[in-house]
Amino acid sequence: MLVSVAYALPERQTLLTLEVAEGTTLEAAIRRCGILRLYPEVDLTHQQVGILGRVRPLTTVLRAGDRVEIYRPRRADPKAARRSRMKPTERL
């Protein structure tokens, strides 16, 4: 079955497609596709991963057509960043 693995930086994005056997886990697909050689800074013990925008554990079994995504660490809490951009009169 075909799956894809994606990782994106602000200046560079990579999407690799590979064929895997039924029962392949999310972690196995990431390791097998070679993306960890392209991005040695990726640390699966600290970074979240998921399928199509939903965080999933590394042990998740993939289905045909899944898009595996490796997420970069967040720099700031999205809610706090939004609040800091608001004008003082907009705050409740």
Q: How many residues does the chain have?
A: 92
How many angstroms separate the CA atoms of 22 and 37, rounded? 24
The CATH superfamily of 2-90 is RnfH-like (3.10.20.280)
Q: Over 60: is that where the pLDDT of 90 sits?
A: no
Q: Where are the domains of the chain?
A: 2-90
Mean pLDDT of 62-78: 85
User: What's the pLDDT tens digit per position in 27-55?
Assistant: 999 999 999 999 999 999 999 999 999 99
User: Is 90 exceeded by the pLDDT of residue 73?
Assistant: no
The amino acid at residue 16 is L
Strand order from edge to edge, sheet including 2-9 = 12-19, 2-9, 67-70, 49-51, 54-56
Q: What residues have CB less than 8 Å from 32, skipping those under 6 apart?
A: 18, 20, 24
